[in-house]
Structure 1
């Protein structure tokens, strides 16, 4: 990319100047502020939820934990820089800031999609092949995370070492890979990076979850009542992972398609407006994960409410009933004896009978919460 490009009326625009109108710059900056705030707060809440349940995390959940950390880091660093540049109508952090911004964005994006591929592979192995011993091994998360970070570090460090470049986007308000290469080597790097870091992982994810859906449907069709309940719980976990994958692909595939179109067909075919739109989509992917956890997983909703210590009137009655229901296989609490005077009030209870009550002497008094609409609910 050259230091400037021709603008309307023959003027030469510096590459760090915005190619959008002032109104579009303000709208872009407002979207960055909104996306960054929602993403940071949402992912911080999810991170707290995973931290509270760290003693019972499974292999997949360790990867989801890592996914949340990398997303939080990317959004907390890049969104403020993008918003400040948009409100200034140009990239204001010079060349070094552009390189660091692009490297961090690309690295975190690679970490995220590699983690999603690892999650899909684990789901596929556990569901379709039942190799649970190797997957549930305590060293498996460490090995997978090491592979994820090595893979991301390799592809994101190549431009820093001379193969490919980081540069400002066409609209001039953020930085990433320079999708307008000047040499055949840079064009080769972009093609290989897009293939290895996006399109092959996307194909693998589609295959994994297609096979999972086929096997889960077959299992539910032939399972009994107990097996169907277990299969339903597994299906919910698969649904969360699959929707995470879908949200990530909807955010990043349009960006890659538009960027590659600019690489091989020229920047005039895409334009700064189209690049700005797909860039906003990638930034919005930061709040997808918290929303998916809340909308698609009952267990994560309950854990998230507990982590945030929300009052009971914020909890749906079904969630409270499930939370306080006795666990399967747990023996009931020993019965408590009430006074003979209270046994007369029942009319049909003998003087020496023992009556089971819901509270033992060590149980704190129940708290009565008023639900919206006047309904009353008791929580312990």
Structure 2
């Protein structure tokens, strides 16, 4: 069955197998870690706080990215996209919605942590739920535009997964990309950067750092920066002239976000980590009741 489908242009048999394996491992690992994060939240009463609700909302977005990666991984082993044009549009919409939501929730957690450590203001349930609903609707709206002609979903260079098509770089693409990037990445990067800068200054004054405030922004840029660079490069130059292998770096790095986020915001959170341990083993660990306290 595999031999009946030609290799994508610019890729060898080893390339397709390696990239497919990366996507599959990223997807399955992300599903596992974020599923544990979500189930622990609902099983362990002490974890059910408004701040942790943002963490579990991030996990829900990330598990969506991981499911998207898993489908792409299986398709890579087939060496073709088996779900047709409609399946490509659905895959692109689902992946784009969850990716944007993940970026938004990373910013929401940064905003919440700023208030926890700098203004000593606790997040309320009403605010957390309203924020989560707004994020999902807002991201779904921006992801729906390519379905109706503003922007377009098409295959990645490996042709076994679908995302926003940057290959044309025409006026339609540019007019969609710029406002979408401002409202779904530019503002979020600013919130993350400014929030953790303020937290770092607070930690410096108190001499009691509770976590490394430099890591969240670095991981956000590591995972999503290559996609941003490639997307804006396509505005000025023909992106298809870039090596297909090089263009595949962006989706591979982006799909590491669910695993990194799970370690950073759930397993890296002392309170949340204790809840996960209790869920997995039944053994309760007493930890200081400070939300989002990370090593």
Q: TM-score range by the shorter chain?
A: 0.7 to 0.9
* C-alpha deviation, 1:62, in angstroms: 0.7
Write out per-residue CA displacement over residues 326-345 of structure 1, whole angstroms, 9 at most, x where no aligned residue. Answer: x99xxxxxxxxxxxxxxxxx
Unaligned segments of structure 2, at least 5 residues: 1-5, 290-295
* C-alpha deviation, 1:164, in angstroms: 1.0
- Counterpart in 1 of 2:256? 284
- Counterpart in 2 of 1:273? 245
Is 1:104 paired with 2:104?
no
Within the candidate set 51, 68, 72, 1:60 is matched to 51
Kept after mapping to 2: 8 A contact 1:99/1:166? yes
CA RMSD of aligned residues (A): 2.8
- Counterpart in 2 of 1:174? 161
- Give the secondary structure class of the aligned counterpart of 2:163: strand
Larger Rg: 1
Distance 1:324 1:122 in 2: 23
- Give the secondary structure class of the aligned counterpart of 1:167: strand
- Counterpart in 1 of 2:18? 27
Within the candidate set 76, 80, 84, 2:74 is matched to 84
Within the candidate set 170, 180, 197, 1:210 is matched to 197
Within the candidate set 265, 273, 292, 1:301 is matched to 273
Is 1:258 paired with 2:210?
no
* Alignment coverage as a number of residue pairs: 285
* Alignment map for 1:152-171 (pairs within 5 Å): 152-171=139-158
- Give the secondary structure class of the aligned counterpart of 1:158: helix
Kept after mapping to 2: 8 A contact 1:47/1:68? yes
Distance 1:103 1:288 in 2: 23
Distance 2:214 2:43 in 1: 24
* C-alpha deviation, 1:269, in angstroms: 4.1
- Counterpart in 2 of 1:94? 84
- Counterpart in 2 of 1:332? none
* C-alpha deviation, 1:69, in angstroms: 1.3
Larger displacement relative to structure 2 (117-126 or 21-30): 117-126
Distance 1:107 1:153 in 2: 5
* C-alpha deviation, 1:306, in angstroms: 1.3
Kept after mapping to 1: 8 A contact 2:66/2:258? yes
Kept after mapping to 1: 8 A contact 2:27/2:70? yes
TM-score by length of 1: 0.68
Unaligned segments of structure 1, at least 5 residues: 1-13, 222-230, 313-319, 329-380
TM-score by length of 2: 0.86
- Give the secondary structure class of the aligned counterpart of 1:176: strand
Is 1:137 paired with 2:137?
no
Considering Cα pairs closer than 8 Å and 6+ residues apart, tell me whether 1 or 2 has the greater RCO: 2
Distance 1:33 1:18, change over 3 A: farther
Kept after mapping to 1: 8 A contact 2:40/2:279? yes
Distance 1:324 1:17 in 2: 53
Distance 1:127 1:36, change over 3 A: same
Write out per-residue CA displacement over residues 221-252 of structure 1, whole angstroms, 9 at most, x where no aligned residue. Answer: 4xxxxxxxxx65xx24xx4x864453233111
Is 1:41 paired with 2:32?
yes
